[in-house]
Amino acid sequence: MVDVGAKPVTARTAEASGFVQMAESTVSAIRDRRTPKGDPLEAARLAGIMAAKRTGELIPLCHPLALTHADVQIRLEENGARITATASTSAQTGVEMEALTAVSVAALTLYDMLKAIDREMVIGDIRLERKSGGKSGEWKRKK
């Protein structure tokens, strides 16, 4: 792991996003609560938060961090689900990986919860949207 011992502790936040493309009929099944495994949105939201908290165990050489906040929001769109995750802490290193991991695991959970009705879903567009804190300060993805 990179030695961050000499870096100052600062408040850090990161936001990431991703998209699970799915058939319109799958989106309708979610809205109408007709999915075979239960509520895929709530299961994915919780899975993403749990994954953010365990990122240091999942990604080699990633520092384990005590998060002060983790949140996952999932918004249904006409052709899929937009996932947004935020993670925050006060530490010597950033929380970008925690936000990205939350989005990734939430997307995988949606796939698992919905694969019985839609095997053609596509997980994609997982990316960092913004971050703050540390030496580099504020950063926001260019649209």
Active site residues: 112
Nearest partner of 73 among 33, 44, 97, judged by Cα: 44
Cα 99 to Cα 116: distance, rounded to the nearest angstrom: 28
- Whether residue 110 contacts residue 27, with contact meaning beta carbons closer than 8 Å, is answered with no
- Both structure tokens of 73: 């929001």
Q: Are strands 139-140 and 10-21 parallel, antiparallel or unpaired?
A: unpaired
How many other CB atoms sit within 10 Å of the CB of residue 125? 15
